Amino acid sequence: MALLGLTALLGAGIFLAVTQQPPRSASGSERIVLAAETVPHASPVWVAQAKGYFRKHGPQVEIREFESGRTALATMLNREGIDLCTAAQTPVISHSFTRDDYAIIGGMVYSDRDVKLLARRDRGVHAPQELKGRTVGITRGSSGHFFLSLFLACHGLELADVQTTDMEATRLTGALLEGQVDAIATWEPHIYQARSALRDQAVLLPSSDIYREDFYFIARKDFIRRHPRALERFLRAIEMSQRFILENGRDAREVVRRRLQVDGATLDATWDDFHFTLFLDQSILLSLEDEARWAIDNRLTDATRVPNYLDYIYADALKAVKPEAVTIVGKEDWP
């Protein structure tokens, strides 16, 4: 069964909108439960939490940690109790063929250098063409999976030319070190950690500017309709956090290092790969449409038509916080 069809089945029967109001904090402010991926991409979340920006702007934010945006989004959609999550664009499209009960409320970071392909020299991989017939570790249905497809196409290959092994991103480094796979296509800090461990046997294949990875805040539509002001206040806290990151890079990295328990060298080596800013631009729609066509062409879904991704964008909260950041053409206000 296609992966995306399986995802739909796993979520069957639990698409009913939650009608209860969320619990309130002791101060009476609304509460948001946020499912966040434990990676540096989500630095605005970790800084906002550490610096007290959520407390300053409200609402009360409870953070639940996940290993990938794929898992965070699937959990939010298929279980009650999570209102908002962080994820890149590929998980967004993977659910869009079967449901439309969620929407992006804002991008918080983008990068064209975050997702990379690392191979083992001692497995005979020195150049992109030598991936043919090799085993590549990916997180299926993630940005790493889509990136691998783009990378191979740039070098005259197809997904069918390689064997792929699906696992959570946190396991990919170990799989490469143990020889379970010949290469991995994933995001930082996993690439840096694997490259450091393999040393001379690591081959980082050139891949800059192939793919712009976006990292979004995504909310359940039922929560959006009931609590639009809470989302505005949440984004104001994130905007304050991003200003701190831009103006105090070293201090921000230290906050993230302590929060995620990663070494400073890893953050220093990858920090400049990220552009921290709130945005809802036209590139989001183009990227979602391109990836949806890719999923259809590669039979990752039984769907045959690309959804209208304007229906998966909620711009009103970001317009209230940072109107200049909303440049999507044709997007009307929320009904």
pLDDT tens per residue, range 62-84: 999 998 888 999 999 999 899 99
* pLDDT tens per residue, range 116-129: 999 999 999 999 99
* Cis before 59 (ω within 30): yes
Q: Which of the 8 DSSP states describes residue 330?
A: T
Does residue 317 have a pLDDT over 90? yes
What is the pTM (predicted TM-score) of this model? Answer: 0.82
Residue in 81, 69, 36, 31 with CA at minimum distance from that of residue 241: 36
* pLDDT grade for 182, boundaries at 50, 70 and 90: very high
Question: Are 313 and 331 contacting, i.e. CB atoms less than 8 angstroms apart?
Answer: yes
The tens digit of pLDDT for each residue in 248-306 reads 999 999 999 999 998 888 889 889 989 999 999 999 999 999 999 989 988 889 999 99
Q: What is the pLDDT of residues 199-226, one digit of tens each?
A: 999 999 987 678 889 999 999 999 999 9
Task: Name every residue whose Cβ is closer than 8 Å to that of residue 23 and which is 6 or more positions away in sequence.
Answer: 31
Which pLDDT does position 13 carry in this prediction? 37
Give the span between the Cα atoms of 113 and 97, in whole angstroms: 28
Tell me what the pLDDT averaged over the chain comes to.
88
Cβ within 8 Å of residue 200, ≥6 positions away: 121
Query: Could you tell me if 103 and 13 are in contact, meaning their C-beta atoms sit under 8 angstroms apart?
Result: no
